[in-house]
Amino acid sequence: MAERGAPMEAEILDRVQESPSLFTLRLRLTDASLQSAYSFDPGQFNMLYLHGVGEIAISIVSDPREADTIDHTIRAVGRVSKGFAALKTGDRVGLRGPFGRGWPLQAAEQHDVVIITGGLGCAPVVSVINYVSQRRERYARLNILQGVKHSADFIWRERYDRWRALPDTRVLLAADAGDALWPWHIGHATDLFGQLDFDPMNTVVMMCGPEGMMHRAVQHMRKAGVPAADIWLSMERNMQCGTGHCGHCQYGGMFVCKDGPVFPYDRLQSLFGRTGF
Amino acid sequence: MENVADCFLARPDLQQLFDALLARDYDVWGPVARDGSIVFESVESVDMLPVGLIDQQDPGAYRLQETGNERVFDWTNGPQALKPMVFRPEVTLWEVARDAAGGLRFREPARPAQKRAVVGVRACDLAALYIHDRHFLQGESPEPDYRAQRQRLFLVAVNCTRAGNQCFCASTGDGPQARYGYDLALTELEQGFLVHAHSDAGRELLSALPTRAATAAEVSDAEKSVRVAAEQQRALPSRDLRDALLERLDHPRWKETAERCLGCGNCTAVCPTCFCNQEMDQPSLDGGHSEHVRQWDSCFSPDHGYIHGLRLREDTAGQYRQWLTHKLATWHDQYGRSGCVGCGRCITWCPVGIDLVEEVQALLREDAHG
Amino acid sequence: MTTRAINIQVPTLSRVEGEGALDLDIAGGQITGVRLRIYEPPRFFEKLLEGRDYGELPDLEARICGICPVAYQLTAVQAVEAAFCVDIPAPVQALRRLMYFGEWIQSHALHMHMLAAPDFLGCTTIFELQAQQPAAVARGMRLQDFGNRLMRWLGGRSVHPVGVCAGGFHGRLQVEDLPSLCADAEQAWQDSAALVSWVCGFNLPERQQRFQQVALRPEQGYPITGGQMISSDGLSIEADAFEAHFEEQQVPYSNALQARLHGEPYLVGPLARVNLNLDRIPEEVLEPLLATSIRFPSANPYHSIVARALEIRLAVYEARILLAADWETQSYCAPVTPRSGAGYAATEAPRGMLWHGYRFSETGSVESARIVPPTSQNQARMEADLASGLTEFGLDREEHELRMEAERIIRNYDPCISCATHFLDLRIRRRPSAAF
Amino acid sequence: MVGRPRIAVHKFSSCDGCQLAFLNLGSELLALSELVEVVHFAEAGACDESAQVDLAFVEGSISTRRDEARIREIRKCSNFLVTLGACATSGGIQALRNHADADDWKQAVYAKPETIDSLAMSTGIAEHVRVDLELWGCPVSGAQVLAAIRQLLFGVLPRSNREKVCADCKRSGQVCVLVTGGAPCLGPVTRTGCGALCPQFGRACYGCYGPADSANTPAMAQRLLGLGLSAAEAERQFCRIHSHSPDNERAALILRSDA
Ligand SMILES: Cc1cc2nc3c(=O)[nH]c(=O)nc-3n(C[C@H](O)[C@H](O)[C@H](O)COP(=O)(O)OP(=O)(O)OC[C@H]3O[C@@H](n4cnc5c(N)ncnc54)[C@H](O)[C@@H]3O)c2cc1C
Ligand code: SF4
Ligand code: SF4
Ligand code: SF4
C-alpha cells in the first residue's frame, strides 16, 4: 500500500435505520477512478471521517463483488458515531482504507463453517454470513449461533429467516431474557453449543462480539477439538490511524489494525482473557 | 572494537565543522545548556555549546555541573533525543475544507525540505532512530511527516567517553559507541576530536575539514575512554526479558510501583523509542476548515486504552505494566529487539524517580515472585 | 409630580462587572435615598490570605478580579517588596509598567466599547454596535488585543497571568516577540488617536459636579505602579499612611465596604488621574483632544470615558518607548529575602487607586492582609452622583428613562463589582412628600 | 442543535475572568455572534436570564442561598449546561473557606456580618444541578471555550481530554522544573488545557486547571515532602484554586495528619 495520506471524499448514497441505534451508510467515493480501484476483503475496515469531528474504525459490510458501493453498519455509541448518525443521504464524509486482514474465507472453502456472534448484532460477521450464503456451494455445513442480552436487541430477523432456509444451514438463537414472542432459546448462547453440527478437524470458526463471550466460545470449541489456528476472532481496540503507527490498538506484540482485526486464536492465546491488554 | 576514528580535528577547529555544515545549507542543530539541562537547538557557533558542563543524573533529578575543563561533549544526554525532530510532538497530517455544497476537499500540508544537521547525537539516540525508522517507515504505509523530517537529517554522532549515572546502553547493546546510522562521528579527546565518516555525505564533509590522520595513541586513547564509559555503566539483567516479564504479569510489584507512579507519562515522552500518538481535529470556528492533527500520546493517558464504555487499563498498575512489558517484552515480537536503548531518560525524568532497571530487578527477584 | 407610591423593580443592570442592585427613593420630587446594593457574594479574600506564603500572593490575589488581575498582582508584590526592603532594578520596574499599561488598554478598551459606548450610541450590545460602526468596533478590539498581548508576553495569559513574582518576573524574557509587538504598538498608536476623536464625538451630557478626587502622583511620569497619594483637597501621603486618612465602612445593604476620605466620598479612576496629573501627559498624547471642545481638568463625570481614551493613548505612547528599550533573553528578577514587618503599596488599577497592606512573619507568611479596591472607594461617590445626576436629568421622567440614566451613571464609573465584592437590580420607590 | 442556537452566560460567585474568555476573543467574538444568538450575557448587555436556551455557560460557584435557587431555575431553562472554570467546577478559590469557620471569616472582614447572605460552603455547580460538560481552568481559555462550542455546533460532544499538564509540557519542549530544580510542580496531577504555561515561565504549576483524571495526589504529596517541603507547605499546594475537589482534599488530609 502507498504512503498513508489524507482521506478520500465519499458521498452517502443511502442511509438505512436498522434499529434505534444502528444504521447503515452506503457510500461511494466521489472520485470515480478511486472507487473503481477500491477493493477489499470481508472483515477489513475503513477509517471513516466526520468533518471537523474525527475518524472512527468501521468494518465494511458490503459484498466485495458490489464494486460501486461501500457499506458500513454503525452503532451510535459515542461522540463520533452519534455524529455520523445525524448524517443524511447526499452528505459527504472522508474515508481511508481498507485496512487490516479480514476473514479466512478462501481457506474456509470446503470446510464446515461455524459463525458465533454475541452482544448487539455484530456487523462484521453479518458480512461473512452474506458472503458465504452468496457462495453457499463452496462451503460445507454452515452454523450460525447468535446470542443477545434481550430479545428486543435482536434485529434483522428476516435475514436470519432467509439464512435458516439455506441448504445445510443451522441458525441457533438465544436471548438471556426474552418476551413471550421470542420463539427461540432463553438462556445463554453457550447452552446451544451442543446443537452445533460440525467436524472439529475440518471446521473454520469465525467469531465476533464481546471478549468475555468470545472467550467462552473459544473454550468450548477447543474442548470440542477445534485446533486453535482454525478459530478466528475479530478484535476491537482503540484506533487512531489504522496504519499501525498510533500504538493504541496494540494487543501484546500485535497491532490489531494491521495484524488483525481478524486473528486466529493461536496468535492471541497467551493474553486472551486477561484484563489490561 | 572497530576503529573508533581515522582523522583528528584540533579543538580550535571545531567551528569549521559548523561552518562547513552552514556552507552546505544545513540548518545546524546542536546541544545547548538551557533551563538547567542540555537540549538541541539551532547552533551556529561553538560558543553556544555546553563547554565544561556535565550532567549529574539521578532518579527524578538532573543537575548540570561545571567541570572547569574545555570539553564540550562530556554531558551524556538531556530530555530529548532525536525524537522531537523526526516524530514531531504535534503535526498537521492533513487539512480539509468544506465547500458550501458540503463537498470535502482534503489536502496534505507542505513538508519542510531544508536539510538539517544535528551535532552531538549519541549511540543510543541512533539506535532509537533506527527503531523509529522501522516503525514509521518500513511498514506497509510509511508516515509522510516522519519521512520528510527523517530525509532531512545529517547526523554528527558523538561517542560517549563518560557514562551518565543512569546510562545502561552497553547492556542493551546500543552504545556507548555509535556503530551505524550516522554520517560523521566524533570522539572527544583532550586536544581535539577523532572524526570518522560513515556515509558519502559524511566523507565529503570530512574532506572539507582541516584534519590530519590520527595517531595510534590518539586512537587507542579514544577506544579506551569509550570502553571505560561502558564499564562504568549500570546494566539491565538481560537483553531479552520477553519471557521473564510475560511470566510475571501477576507480580505484586506492579501494584506496589503504581502507588508511587503519578501516571504523568513523562517516561514515555522522553523515551526515544516510544511512538504512541493520538489524532484529533482542530476545526476553524465557522466549521468550514479543519486540521487533522497528530500529537504525542502516552499509554499512561486514561484515553489510550479506551474502547467505548471500557477502559482496558483502568488503573495505574495496568498502565505501568503495559508500558514496561511493551518496552521490554512484546517489542521483541514487533521489531525483533527490546524497545529500550539504555539511555536512562525515563529514570531521570520521572518526577518521582521510578527506576526501570530497579523495577526489572525487583520483578525478576525470585523471592518476591508472586 | 408623582403623588402615588410606586415600587418598580428592574432586575438587571447590564454591562457592569459583577452583581449589584440600586434602590432609589423618590419622595416629593426629591431623591431621599440612594442605596447601591452590592450583593455579589463576598469571597473573604483578606481572610484566606492569612497563613499563606508571600510567594503565593500573585497567584491567589489575581483571583480577586479577572478584569484587573495584573493590578492586584503588582500591588501585592510591591507591598511584599516594601516589607522586605527589596530594591527593584529599573528594568523590572519598566517591564511592570509595560504589563500594567497592557491591562489598562485591555480593560479601558473593553469598558469603552462593550460596556459604555452603547449608552451613547443608542444600542444595547456590542453586537448591535458592530452592525452600526464596524470600523470602530474592529479598532476597539485591536486595541484590546494589543493590551492582552502585552500581558501575555510577560505573563503567559492576560487573565491570571503566571509571570509576576516578588522581585520581578518568572522565566526568561522572550525577546523574539519584540518586533511584532512593536509593529502592533505602531498600529495601536494610530488607533488611539482615532479613538480619542471618536469618543469626543459622543453626545456626552453636560454635568458639573463638585467632588473630591484622589490619585497617585509619582515623582515623574503618569501614575500607574505607584506614587504619593494626593487629593484635590491638598492631601499628599505615602501608601503606609492610607489607614490614617481613609476609612472603610460597612453599609447594611451592601456586601462591599465603602471608603471615605476624612469622612467624605471621593472619586478615584481615570477622570481623577487625568485631572490631577494633566501636566504629566505628553503633548502628542493630548493632540487629538485639542481639536475638540473637551478640556481637562473637568468636573463633568461623563468625561471619564474621554479620560479612558486618553489613558489608552498614553499607555500606547509609553508602551512604544518601553518596547524599544534594549531587552535581552534573560531573567529579570531581583532576589527576595523575607523578614518580618508590614508592607504597603498603592497603584493605579484601571478603575482607580488600589491599596494593599500586609503584615508578614519572619518566614514571609501573611499574618494579616487588607485590600481596598477602587470600586469600594467610588461607591459613595456613585451614590452622590446618582442623587445629583438624576435630579438634573429630571425626576419626573418616565421610570424606564430614569432607570436607564441611573444605569448609565453607574456604568460610567466602570464599577468592578467582583473586586468590590454584578447585575444591578434597580428599585425605585416613589412616595408623596406627605409620607414623610 | 440546528440553526443558530440560543446561548446564555450566567454568573455566580467568581472573579469574572472566565467570561473574559468570551470578551477577550476580539474578532472571533463577532464571528461567534453570527453562529449563535446571545440571549443572556449581562456583562455584554444581553439580559434575559429566564429565557429558554440551547446552551448555557455558567461561571462562578454557589455560595449564597439566593444562588442555590437561581441555579435550579437556570438548569430548568437550559438544554445543555456547561460550567466554566474552577469556581463553577470545584467551588474555586473561595472554597478555601469550606475548611475554615465561615462565620469567623465574615466577622473578620465585615463589621455587621448578620447582613451578609453567605453559605458556609462555596461549591461547584454539579453539587446542585446536573451538568452536561465541565470546562476546567482558572481561567478557562478562549480557545478551550471555542473548541467546545464548535463541537457542540457540529452536534457532537467535545473530545474528552484526560491528560496531565506534563503531556503538554513535554510536547512543547519545556525542560522539567521539578527534575532540574526540585520545584514543587503539580503538573503530574493537574489536567491539561493551559499548554503548560507555568513551566514555560520556569516555574512550578500550581494546579489551576484542577486535578486530572486519575490524579495520584497522595503520591504527589509524598514527592513534595521528598523535595523538602514541610507538610504545611505541601498541604497549601493542594489547597489553592481547587481545594474542594476530592483528589486535593485527599492529599491535604494525608498531609494534615502528617503535620
Ligand atoms: C477494526 C474495528 C472495526 C469496527 N467496526 C465497527 C462497525 O462495523 N460498526 C460499529 O458500529 N463499530 C465498529 N467498531 C467500533 C467503532 O470504532 C467504535 O464504536 C467507535 O470508534 C466509537 O467512537 P465514538 O466516538 O462514537 O465513541 P466514544 O465512546 O465517544 O469514543 C471516543 C473515541 O475513542 C475511540 N474508540 C472508542 N471506542 C472504540 C472502539 N470500539 N474501537 C476503536 N476505537 C474506539 C475512538 O477514537 C473514538 O472516537 C469497530 C472498531 C474496530 C477497531
Ligand atoms: S525505556 Fe527508558 S532507558 Fe530505555 S530507551 Fe526508553 S527512556 Fe531510555
Ligand atoms: S515541569 Fe512540571 S508539568 Fe513539566 S514535566 Fe515537569 S513535572 Fe510535569
Ligand atoms: S501550568 Fe498549572 S498553574 Fe500554570 S497555568 Fe497551567 S494548569 Fe495553571
Per-residue confidence (pLDDT) for residue D17, from 0 to 100: 93
Beta-carbon count within 10 A of C262 CB: 12
Q: What is the pTM of this model?
A: 0.93
| Ligand 4 neighbourhood includes D208 CB (under 6 angstroms) | yes
Cα separation, B277 vs B303, whole angstroms:
11
A77 CB within 8 Å of a chain D CB: no
Per-residue confidence (pLDDT) for residue C48, from 0 to 100: 86
Cα separation, A112 vs B241, whole angstroms:
41
B344: left (phi over 0), alpha (psi -120 to 50) or beta: left
User: What amino acid occupies position D12?
Assistant: F
D148 CB within 8 Å of a chain B CB: no
In this predicted structure, the answer to whether residue A59 has a pLDDT above a threshold of 50 is yes
User: Looking at ligand 2, which atom is closest to the CA of residue B172?
Assistant: 4
In this predicted structure, the answer to whether residue D257 has a pLDDT above a threshold of 90 is no
Per-residue confidence (pLDDT) for residue D96, from 0 to 100: 85
Per-residue confidence (pLDDT) for residue D103, from 0 to 100: 62
**Rg of chain C, C-alpha, whole Å:** 22
Distances (CA, A) of C353 to C47, C187, C230, C234, C372: 21, 29, 11, 17, 8
B–A contact (≥3 CB pairs within 8 Å)? yes
Q: How confident is the model at residue C40 (pLDDT cuts 50, 70, 90)?
A: low
- Cα of D184 from ligand 3 centre, angstroms: 9
Residue to probe by mutation, ligand 2, list B62, B125, B346, most atoms within 8 Å of CB:
B346
pLDDT tens per residue, range B154-212:
999 999 999 999 999 999 999 899 999 999 999 999 999 999 999 999 999 999 999 99
Per-residue confidence (pLDDT) for residue B1, from 0 to 100: 36
| Ligand 3 neighbourhood includes D87 CB (under 6 angstroms) | no
What is the end-to-end Cα distance of chain D in Å, rounded?
A: 53
Per-residue confidence (pLDDT) for residue C423, from 0 to 100: 27
Q: How confident is the model at residue C353 (pLDDT cuts 50, 70, 90)?
A: very high
Residue pair D103/D60 in contact (Cβ under 8 Å)? The answer is no
Q: Which residues in chain A are closer than 8 Å to B144, comparing Cβ atoms?
A: 3-5
Per-residue confidence (pLDDT) for residue A177, from 0 to 100: 85
Phi, psi for residue C91 in degrees, rounded to 5 = -60, -35
Percent of chain C at pLDDT exceeding 90: 65
Q: Which residue is closest in CA terms to ligand 3's atom 1? A: D176
State the average pLDDT over residues B89-116. Answer: 95
pLDDT tens per residue, range B312-333:
898 999 999 999 999 999 999 9
Cα separation, D14 vs C67, whole angstroms:
11
Per-residue confidence (pLDDT) for residue D232, from 0 to 100: 94
Q: Which of B175, B45, B270, B235 is nearest to D180 (CA)?
A: B270
State the average pLDDT over residues C132-147. Answer: 96
Question: What's the grid cell of residue A245?
Answer: 503507527
Check D24 against C170: CB less than 8 A apart: no
**D159: nearest CA in chain A?**
A79
pLDDT tens per residue, range D108-128:
655 555 655 667 788 999 999
- Cα of A44 from ligand 1 centre, angstroms: 14
In this predicted structure, the answer to whether residue B360 has a pLDDT above a threshold of 60 is yes
pLDDT tens per residue, range C180-202:
999 999 999 999 999 999 999 99
ipTM given for this complex = 0.93
Chain A interface, mutation test: which of D149, D154, D156, most A Cβ atoms within 10 Å? D156
Residue pair A94/A27 in contact (Cβ under 8 Å)? The answer is no
Q: Which residues in chain D are closer than 8 Å to C171, comparing Cβ atoms?
A: 200-203
State the average pLDDT over residues A94-123. Answer: 89
Check D105 against C156: CB less than 8 A apart: no
Q: What is the mean pLDDT of chain D?
A: 91
Query: Which among B36, B60, B266 is the nearest to D170, CB-wise?
Result: B266
Q: What is the mean pLDDT of chain C?
A: 88
In this predicted structure, the answer to whether residue A201 has a pLDDT above a threshold of 90 is yes
State the average pLDDT over residues C339-348. Answer: 97
Per-residue confidence (pLDDT) for residue B3, from 0 to 100: 43
More confident residue, C415 or C377: C377
Query: For A55-69, C17-31, C255-269, C277-291, which range has the lowest pLDDT when averaged over its residues?
Result: C17-31
Q: Count, in order, helices (H) and strands (E) of chain C.
A: 15, 16
- Cα of C167 from ligand 1 centre, angstroms: 53
Element (H, E) at C70: helix C69-83
pLDDT tens per residue, range A123-132:
778 888 989 9
In this predicted structure, the answer to whether residue C254 has a pLDDT above a threshold of 60 is yes
Query: Pairing relation of β-strands A70-75 and A92-99?
Result: unpaired
Q: How confident is the model at residue C25 (pLDDT cuts 50, 70, 90)?
A: confident
Per-residue confidence (pLDDT) for residue C117, from 0 to 100: 87
A269 CB within 8 Å of a chain B CB: no
In this predicted structure, the answer to whether residue C42 has a pLDDT above a threshold of 60 is yes
State the average pLDDT over residues B74-91. Answer: 96
In this predicted structure, the answer to whether residue C8 has a pLDDT above a threshold of 50 is no
Q: What is the mean pLDDT of chain A?
A: 91
Percent of chain B at pLDDT exceeding 90: 92
- Which B residues 135-154 touch A at CB under 8 Å? 135-136, 139-144, 147
* Alpha-carbon dihedral angle through residues C299, C303, C309, C310, given to the nearest 10 degrees: -20
Per-residue confidence (pLDDT) for residue D139, from 0 to 100: 96
| Ligand 4 neighbourhood includes D251 CB (under 6 angstroms) | no
**A50: nearest CA in chain D?**
D154
- Which B residues 264-323 touch A at CB under 8 Å? 275-281, 283, 287, 290, 292, 294, 297, 299, 303-309, 312-313, 318, 321-322
Per-residue confidence (pLDDT) for residue A157, from 0 to 100: 83
Cα separation, C94 vs C210, whole angstroms:
36
